[in-house]
Amino acid sequence: MHQQKRQPELVEGNLPVFVFPTELIFYADDQSTHKQVLTLYNPYEFALKFKVLCTTPNKYVVVDAAGAVKPQCCVDIVIRHRDVRSCHYGVIDKFRLQVSEQSQRKALGRKEVVATLLPSAKEQQKEEEEKRIKEHLTESLFFEQSFQPENRAVSSGPSLLTVFLGVVCIAALMLPTMGDVESLVPLYLHLSVNQKLVAAYILGKGFKDAFGTYVT
């Protein structure tokens, strides 16, 4: 009965897709960034087929653009930028990952990942630092207003616990996976695939409980 209840939801195409990162940034002056890796997680108890589409396929090379992910496993998808020219600076391209069950053709879920080519990493770091400062000020104002007496009776949006768990899970997904010898992060911070699957599942479940639906 559990499978019969879940099947209509899958057919509707609302299956959450867990991909990290959700944004790819290539720097023209740093050749090491011309190759990026997307990690597709499958926290479900059934295998998934996946396919990678792109709005500008002539600018990129996608290694293994189609394949399968075993239950409770993940797969890395390598994306290379092959047209690093100044005319493409700041242009936002999109990749779409579509997943389905192996016995079906219709996409059960999809996730978009944006890709941008920037001229220099140093300029981007300055912009990100300014952005972090603005976000910090905005968060400070938000928490100050949230604890005002007249606002205590109002309950809307995700709880602080949900936000905290989301930040922890995102941080866990950003840490390197065990076996990544090229990472500069200490080995004791390397997580296993199962640990990252748990973080991805908790992150998706938290957003579902908070907002009532998934955005894919």
Identify the residue with better confidence: 197 or 83: 83
Query: pLDDT per residue over 54-85, tens digit each?
Result: 999 999 999 999 999 999 999 999 999 999 99
pLDDT exceeds 70 at position 3: no
Query: Per CATH, which fold does 18-121 belong to?
Result: Immunoglobulin-like (2.60.40)
pLDDT exceeds 70 at position 131: yes
Q: Which sign does the torsion angle of CA 174, 169, 209, 198 carry?
A: positive
Rg (CA), the chain: 20
How much of the chain exceeds pLDDT 90, in percent? 45
Are residues 116 and 69 in contact, defined by beta-carbon separation less than 8 angstroms?
Answer: no
What is the rounded CA–CA span in Å between residue 199 and residue 205? 10
Q: In sequence order, which residues have a C-beta less than 8 Å from that of residue 126 and are 6 or more positions away? A: none
Nearest to 80 by CA among 126, 42, 35, 114: 35
Query: pLDDT per residue over 140-191, tens digit each?
Result: 776 666 655 554 444 455 677 778 878 888 887 887 777 776 667 777 777 7
Residue 157 tokens read as: 């949006």
Q: Which of 16-20, 87-91, 170-174, 207-211 has the lowest mean pLDDT?
A: 207-211
Identify the residue with better confidence: 134 or 5: 134
CB atoms within 10 A of CB 32: 7
Are residues 90 and 118 in contact, defined by beta-carbon separation less than 8 angstroms?
Answer: yes
Q: Is 60 exposed, middle or buried (0-12, 13-18, 19+ CB in 10 A)?
A: buried
* pTM, to two decimals: 0.56
Element (H, E) at 203: helix 193-211
